[in-house]
Structure 1
Amino acid sequence: MPLDNRSVTAIIVSYNPDLDGLKSLLGAVIPQVGKLLIIDNGSKDSLKSWLAALYPAVDLEDLGQNYGIAKAQNVGIAKAKVHGAGYVLLLDQDSIPAQDMVSALLSAAEAQLAKGNRLACVGPRYEDPRQKNPPPFIKVTGLRLERQICASADSILEVDYLISSGCLIPLSTLDSVGGMREELFIDYVDIEWGLRAKQMGYQSYGVCSAHMKHDLGDNPKLFLGRHIPVHSPLRHYYHFRNAIWLYRQQWLRLNWKMVDLARLARKFVFYSLITAPRAEHARMMTLGIWHGLTGKMGKKISNG
């Protein structure tokens, strides 16, 4: 039975996007899906007239202010349900899917469902053009973080979670697992959802035949032969706050907490000592840890 890409509604979350990049993304994804929604987090310049001129079939929801990626994704998911979608495809504004990415993901998803597996989501192998190697899929076994490498072009790998961009999720799974945690605002939103789904018996899969270009963070820093993704101090605040918040959730496996906490500690040392402005990175990461411990969540609206 042929795959029906019309069952897929793509959801792009935008915030002050580069219009040339957004145009490339829209050109790549529109032919692959049944419907496309843009949920805009209060960009300073309205996208309405730009879209009306170039892509009149694209549905734009302007939230008026920046509510964070989780809220925007939930708004898009709710609209997709109204439209009767079978799947949602989550996308960031700085991603470019390959021309057959959706078909590859949909084929993998349908195959898992046909086997009777409880499917959380499927996602592509993404490549940051600024880095030398495609980031691997992630799985924690015991006290080891295992980087799942594609042994062949058609490998399908069990993973703990997938980055949200490029993630194809059945609407039925979202009905059971629930949506994204809006209090996280940004960072760890996809990790929390993937781990929550896994805890509830749903499995995520990395699909090696599906490809996507995706910019991870700001310009990466070359350190000891590796390209390390770098974010702003504010993003590091959210990253550390939400990681600590996640560790406090009783349902999360202890071994996953321990492995990720060790990674977080290494990141704190690296960004405090290597990445300028070092003092501001250290201050914001420390503040994030404190707010994660005390449960101060949502959008950061002050310096305190």
Structure 2
Amino acid sequence: MFTHKLYAVVVTYKPKLEILEKCILSLKDQLNKIIIVDNTPDGCKDLESLRIFTNIEIIYLKNNYGIAYAQNVGIKKALEEKAHYILLSDQDTIYPSDFMEKMLVCFKDKVAAAGPLFLDIHTGKVQFFITKGKIGFKKIYPTSGKHEVLQLIASGTVINAKYLPDIGLMMEELFIDWVDMEWCWRAVSKGYRIIGNADIIIKHFHGESNKKILNKEINIKNPIRYYYTIRNAIFLSLHTKTLNAYHRIILFYKTIRNIVLFTVVSYNPFKTLKYAIKGFYHGIIGKLGKLDENH
């Protein structure tokens, strides 16, 4: 039996069932319930095979409404069932057997969320945490311990449910990309703490592949993803009230730089540049939501 009511929200989109099963198997004995929210258009019927696990609920959205919307569907369900802590996960993260046990020790003194370190499968390198530096964003590379950070990657993040009424849910208008960071910034701006737990390292696929340019590792993604990455970063740099002016200027500058970097490393540079420029423009004017390719 668990001392707390522990839930997971796993968002899927055209999942590879074999990998998703490994994710579910790694979590099923650590939680009271796993809620799978499927964003696959028309629904991924292969998910029905997972009903052999007694603590699984599957919600088919039958359309791709974006990761933020899907996460909110799962979070609302978990809150209705009085969950104390809610793990957010993608469909291909595999967790150690003591993951939840080690994460729960982070929740003291207004901690709204905690997450692990990740090992990038493409580079073989352990990624970093981001904190607020005196000037801009600061990367830290801890090898152990708990650290107060500014933001976390959504997958592997455990949220303290009791603070959600004050912080709010995920910003659905962003659709995908920067959703997790915006939520963390919002939590910090309201006086809550975000903890990075370097005692847990999880393997993670970040992007489709990596390419190194100017001594910087760039994640290679489908060109349309750059639309959301650029758009949301520009929008947040101009409109968010949860970062100070200096951090917003740094974010805006880095996003301009990334338009160039993403185009250079892309396997389809012209298409990437087209999406990046459209994303930049839509971020400026505040046009959010799912991209309508016809307009």
TM-score normalised to structure 1 length = 0.91
Partner of 2:270 in structure 1? 279
Q: Secondary structure at the match of 1:95?
A: coil
1 CA distance for matches of 2:140 and 2:160? Answer: 23
- Pair 1:98-2:88 in alignment: no
| 4+ residue runs over 4 A deviation | none
2 CA distance for matches of 1:95 and 1:175? Answer: 28
1 CA distance for matches of 2:245 and 2:208? Answer: 31
Partner of 2:218 in structure 1? 228
Shift of 1:140: 2.9
Aligned Cα root-mean-square deviation (Å): 1.8
Partner of 1:171 in structure 2? 161
Q: Secondary structure at the match of 2:29?
A: helix
Say which of 229, 242, 254 aligns to 1:239: 229
Partner of 2:282 in structure 1? 291
Please say if residues 146 and 196 of structure 2, whose CA atoms lie closer than 8 Å, have aligned partners that are also in contact: yes
1 CA distance for matches of 2:292 and 2:166? Answer: 33
Please say if residues 151 and 194 of structure 2, whose CA atoms lie closer than 8 Å, have aligned partners that are also in contact: yes
Query: Structure 1 counterpart of 2:76, which letter?
Result: A
Shift of 1:207: 0.4
Shift of 1:228: 2.2
2 CA distance for matches of 1:106 and 1:219? Answer: 32
- Pair 1:50-2:25 in alignment: no
Q: Secondary structure at the match of 2:106?
A: helix
Shift of 1:214: 1.6
Query: Structure 2 counterpart of 1:255, which letter?
Result: Y
Partner of 1:89 in structure 2? 87
1 CA distance for matches of 2:198 and 2:216? Answer: 22
Partner of 2:39 in structure 1? 41
Shift of 1:238: 0.4
2 CA distance for matches of 1:86 and 1:56? Answer: 20
Please say if residues 38 and 44 of structure 2, whose CA atoms lie closer than 8 Å, have aligned partners that are also in contact: no
1 CA distance for matches of 2:131 and 2:221? Answer: 23
For 1:250-265, list aligned pairs within 5 A: 250-251=240-241, 252-265=243-256
Say which of 161, 170, 185 aligns to 2:175: 185
Query: Structure 2 counterpart of 1:259, which letter?
Result: I
2 CA distance for matches of 1:284 and 1:74? Answer: 27
Shift of 1:266: 2.3
Show structure 1 runs of 5+ residues with no match.
Answer: none
**How many positions carry a matched residue from both structures?**
293
Query: Structure 2 counterpart of 1:284, which letter?
Result: Y
Between the aligned residues of both structures, percent identity stands at 32
After superposition, give the CA deviation of every residue in 1:153-189 in whole Å (9 maximum; x if it has no partner).
Answer: 2x11111110111001111111110000101000010
Partner of 1:197 in structure 2? 187
CA spacing shift, 1:81–1:297, aligned 2, 3 Å: same
Please say if residues 25 and 93 of structure 1, whose CA atoms lie closer than 8 Å, have aligned partners that are also in contact: yes
Shift of 1:45: 3.0
For 1:95-174, list aligned pairs within 5 A: 95-109=93-107, 112=108, 117-150=109-142, 152-153=143-144, 155-174=145-164
2 CA distance for matches of 1:119 and 1:249? Answer: 26
Please say if residues 211 and 265 of structure 2, whose CA atoms lie closer than 8 Å, have aligned partners that are also in contact: no
1 CA distance for matches of 2:48 and 2:185? Answer: 39
Say which of 22, 25, 40 aligns to 1:24: 22
Shift of 1:48: 4.3
1 CA distance for matches of 2:4 and 2:188? Answer: 27
Shift of 1:226: 4.9
Partner of 2:197 in structure 1? 207
Shift of 1:199: 0.8
Greater displacement, 175-184 / 255-264: 255-264
Please say if residues 241 and 292 of structure 1, whose CA atoms lie closer than 8 Å, have aligned partners that are also in contact: yes
Please say if residues 101 and 211 of structure 1, whose CA atoms lie closer than 8 Å, have aligned partners that are also in contact: no
Please say if residues 10 and 89 of structure 1, whose CA atoms lie closer than 8 Å, have aligned partners that are also in contact: yes
CA spacing shift, 1:9–1:159, aligned 2, 3 Å: same
Query: Structure 2 counterpart of 1:75, which letter?
Result: V
Query: Structure 1 counterpart of 2:182, which letter?
Result: E
1 CA distance for matches of 2:159 and 2:48? Answer: 30
